[in-house]
Each structure stands twice: as C-alpha cells, then as structure tokens.
Structure 1
Amino acid sequence: MTHRFKIRVYYEDTDLAGIVYYANYLRFIERARSEWVRGLGVDQVALKADEGVVFAVRRIEAEYLAPARFDDEVEVVTQVEAVTGARLVLNQDVMRAGQVLFSSIVTLVALNEQGAPVRLPANFRRNLH
C-alpha cells in the first residue's frame, strides 16, 4: 500500500539559505501520515474519545539527501514496512520529480491515556491490508 501526499514549499518552510529547514521535513511527513490515516477511514479524534488510543512517534531515522527550495512541489510517499501488535513501521520519503530528497523510517506506537503501549486498534490493522 502506497500513499502519496503533495505539498508546496512556502517561504515560511525555508531557512536563510532558501532551502527547506531540516525540521520542516518532519512536519511534512507528519501531515502525510495524518492524511494517510484519514484515508484509511480512521478518525483519530474519535479513536481517542471512544477507545482512549492515540498514536505516538517512538523512533525516527532520517536521511537528508538533497534540498527542497521555495515554491517546489514535493510529494511525501508513505509505505508500510511492518506491523506488530502495538507498533507500526513506515517508510516515508519526500520526493521532487522522482528524486528522493529526504528518506525516513518512522516507528509509531499506540498508547492509552496513561501513556502505556496498547495493541493497535483492530479496525486500524484491518484497513492496512
């Protein structure tokens, strides 16, 4: 399963050198994950309210390969690497015209309201296939 999310680079995303500030790639992939989850039919607000479950980033590995610049159109490509009971590993790349600019592996966990790990909700796991 591959999800694609397009983003335009705005002036506010760039640094003094006119390239995307490194931390903003994390914002880009976060937005893409939110849209991916929404596209799976999961309402994260309802999931928290009804089941007390939220998703949190446990780990991220990131590699910056080439800069994006003001007014570029980039695309975040999200793919599922692995799914376990309480953990989801995603590969998320930020690309421009087929070139990978930023590559990441993101590990997400499901947590309850006390911050303890819980199993990924069944309806969420079902939608991954």
Structure 2
Amino acid sequence: MDALPAAAFIKDEASTTLCNRYMAELIGAPGWLGKNAGDLFPRELAEKMSADDRRALAAGRVVVEEQVPTADGRMLTFETTKFAIPRPGKPRLCGGIALDITEHKLVEAQVRATGLL
C-alpha cells in the first residue's frame, strides 16, 4: 500500500486499523490508528464519513468526494473509493483509497468561470 500515490486505509467497525505512508505523512494519519472519524474531525464531516463507510459495507463499494483537513491545516478534496472487505465468520472491514483531486477541481472551476465548460 505504501507504493500508492494516494491515501489508503482499512477500518473495522470501531476505528482505523491500517493506513499507508501517503496518508500518514500528508494527512497526519498516525493519530488515526485506533480512532474513529468522530475522534478526529468536526461532527458534520465525521458523520458523513461514517455514513459513507456504512453505505460501502452495505453496497460493497461507493465512490464519494470529500474535503479533508491535512496535518498542516490545508483542506484537500479527495475522490474516495470505499469498499467492503469480507472476512469469513467476522464483521466486514471497510477499505478505502482516496485520490487527491484538489488541483483538478481548481482547474475545473477556472474553466467553468471562463464559460468554456
């Protein structure tokens, strides 16, 4: 997972259990291990993340766009694919891969402002 140019994580029903180096460095994820979204983010964002996790577990896979604060205080926009990881005889895990689309969204907004889109 450390070779991915994206944030990657695995959560159990209570907390984040694994994250890759990208997530740890960019988003400050070492503090995430053993914690849930409600421990780390404002209530509204945490509730959305938890709801998206539940939808992914129910549907098998969802793709969401979310703005997440980084360790240095910036807000980045991610396209996050969340997916269920089955475990025989145990509750499923929720995995995720989050691609930083911040620059893409900024360029898209600039193009829209010019009327070309």
Does TM, scored on the shorter chain, surpass 0.5? no
Structure-1-length-normalised TM-score: 0.27
Larger % of strand: which? 1
Structure-2-length-normalised TM-score: 0.29
RCO comparison, higher one (Cα < 8 Å, 6+):
1
Larger % of helix: which? 2
